[in-house]
Amino acid sequence: MALRLIVGFLVFVMVARHLGVNQFGTFMYWMTVATLAAQVVNFGSGPYMLKELGANPESRPQIVGGVGASKFVLASLVILASLVATPWISDSTPIYWCLLLTALAEVISEYIFCAFRGMNDFMTEVWFSAAVSCVHLVLLVAATAAGAGLLGIAGTFTASRTIAALGAGLVYRRRFGGFGIRQNWPNWKTTLSQNKAYAADTFLTNLYAQIDSILLKHLSGPEALGIYQAGLRLLQGLNNIAPVLSNVYLPRISSDIKHGNDHSRTASLLYIQLVGFGLIVAIGFLCLGGEIVDILYGSQFEALKPLLPWFGALLLLRLFASNFGILLTASGHQASRAWSVGACLIIVVVSGFWLIPTHGALGMIWSALIATLVLAITYVTKASTTKARHCWGKAQIALSVTGFIVVIIFLIKAQAIAARP
């Protein structure tokens, strides 16, 4: 899993350096659009499968088959809608379709390996992810070395992710047999109905995470988006620790809650790992931000340097909020997560329209910080009233206080940098 995250980050750094600020901004804009379209197919199946398989492992064939049938229906609808919208995409149609197929292949792979995670079989995904990550890296290195343009890079992503999805399907059939989609086809409506809260939360969460690219592209242009996305790739690569730890701890916490067992130790470990990691990275961004940008992106991304401390503050706050979001999912309060994210989505859009025209990429980061702070407060408040409420120990309090101080330092340092002539 760690190798996949590292390779994914390195690939985007390589693509950014290869394409340059403007073209990288255009590439990431269409990847954002394609990813949001694919989230309709995802329909929140990840948390749903982990929770259901963790609580009812004997029902794996029905759970996996029902989710698979629903994905087939949703994928057909997304492809049909994209065909209808194609005339309005204009010159970027080939790029969009390549990236849409890429996103759909990633959704399929994620669906397959959620079954392994829910059955506590993590090693299969580890070795498989290592193999496909190496293939992905080799293909992208070859594409950039050959001087591929936007379409060539997009097509390489499609080929790589399609290979991964096909391979994941073969691994699943060897381990468990068939997916059970045909046998559970009549259950696709029931599955969608049971999964709607997860779907709303997942789609709104992804829209909340992706709306920045759409706002920046239309309010400030592809150059600002390219700079912002370079920092965001670094942030998201590190933020992937949240879903990784969720895959590990969510089934355990769900099972403990269902059977009335004490989950406080597991929840404390989750908090310390999430916030502790965020704190370490945030300090690194504060002390070595300029050097990180020079090493990774080079001189063409010079404008990213004063933004990196703000990205560090945002990462720390997001990981803090993620801890309590996972607890809400484990206790079955997915609907609460959904409306919380929906409210914060409105906040980030409104503040983005206010701040981006004046401050560009920095205004987008400020908007995200405001919305994430509101989300964190909402999650903490709601989680305190559920069965998965967090028990604050000395270690958690120390991390929280230290993290707050670091965020304040970030703000002071970043403001001083911005004020320099």
Predicted confidence (pLDDT) per residue in 270-289, tens digit: 787 788 888 888 888 887 87
pLDDT band at residue 393 using 50, 70 and 90 as cut-offs:
low
Over 80: is that where the pLDDT of 103 sits? yes
**Residue 56, CA distances (Å) to 64, 107, 172, 187 in order:** 12, 23, 19, 17
Residue pointed to by tokens 């199946």? 45
Q: Which residues of 54-91 are buried (b: 16+ CB within 10 A; e: fewer)?
A: bbeeeebbbbbbbbbbbbeebbeebbeebeeeeeeeee
Average pLDDT of the segment spanning 118-143? 84
Q: What is the pLDDT of residue 50?
A: 75
Count of other CB atoms within 10 angstroms of residue 138: 12
What size, in residues, is the chain? Answer: 421
CA proximity to 209, closest of 91, 67, 58, 35: 35
Higher pLDDT, 344 or 246: 344
Could you report the per-residue pLDDT of 170-210, keeping only the tens digit for each? 988 888 877 777 777 777 777 777 777 777 777 777 787 78
Question: pLDDT value at position 383?
Answer: 75
From the list 197, 195, 210, the residue with the least C-alpha distance to 99 is 210
Judge residue 1's burial from the number of C-beta atoms within 10 Å of its C-beta, 0-12 exposed, 13-18 middle, 19 or more buried: middle
Q: Which residue has the higher pLDDT, 100 or 242?
A: 100
pTM of the predicted model, to two decimals?
0.76
Say what percent of the chain tops pLDDT 90.
20
Between residues 409 and 369, which one has the greater pLDDT? Answer: 369
**pLDDT at position 144, please?**
93
Q: How confident is the model at residue 235 (pLDDT cuts 50, 70, 90)?
A: confident
102 pLDDT higher than 90: yes
Average pLDDT over residues 85-110: 88
**Residue 228 — pLDDT band, cuts 50, 70, 90?**
very high
**How far is Cα 46 from Cα 110, in angstroms, rounded to an integer?**
7
pLDDT exceeds 70 at position 147:
yes
**Which ranges of 220-263 does DSSP label H, i.e. alpha helix?**
222-239, 241-258
- The residue with tokens 């759409």 is 214
Distance CA 369, CA 364 (A): 9
Q: What is the pLDDT of residue 142?
A: 94
- Report percent pLDDT > 70 for the chain: 85
Buried b (16+ CB within 10 A) or exposed e, 363-395: bbbbbbbbbbbbbbebbbebbeebbbbbeeeee
> Pick the residue with more confidence: 251 or 87?
87
Across the range 357-376, mean pLDDT stands at: 89
Q: Tokens for 124, please give them.
A: 């299969």
Burial class (CB within 10 angstroms; exposed 0-12, middle 13-18, buried 19+) of 267: buried
Higher pLDDT, 264 or 147: 147
pLDDT of residue 418: 55
The residue type of 360 is G
Average pLDDT over residues 90-119: 87
Work out the average pLDDT over 52-64: 74
Residue 415 has pLDDT above 70, yes or no: no
| Number of helices (H), then strands (E), in the chain | 14, 0
Average model confidence (pLDDT) across the chain: 81
Number of neighbours of residue 219 by Cβ within 10 angstroms: 17
Is the pLDDT at 126 greater than 70, yes or no?
Answer: yes
Instruction: Name the band, by pLDDT with cuts 50, 70 and 90, for residue 377.
Output: confident
Whether the CB-CB separation of 399 and 406 falls below 8 Å is answered with: no
Residue 63: the pLDDT is 79
Q: Confidence band (pLDDT; 50, 70, 90) for 264?
A: low
pLDDT over 60 (residue 150): yes
Burial of 329 (0-12, 13-18, 19+ CB in 10 A): buried
164 contacts: CB under 8 Å, gap ≥ 6: 105, 106, 109, 132, 135, 136
Closest CA to 180 of 85, 112, 134: 112
Q: What is the pLDDT of residues 297-329, one digit of tens each?
A: 888 888 888 888 888 888 888 888 887 877 777
Torsion-angle region of 149 (φ positive above 0: left; ψ -120 to 50: alpha; else: beta):
beta
pLDDT of residue 413: 66
Residue 231 to residue 223: CA distance in whole angstroms: 13
Residue 38 reports pLDDT greater than 80: yes
* pLDDT in the model for residue 259: 57
The pLDDT, as a whole number, for residue 250 is 66
- Closest to 329 in 3D by CA, of 43, 47, 39: 47
> Residue 189 half-sphere exposure, CB side, CA atoms within 13 Å?
1
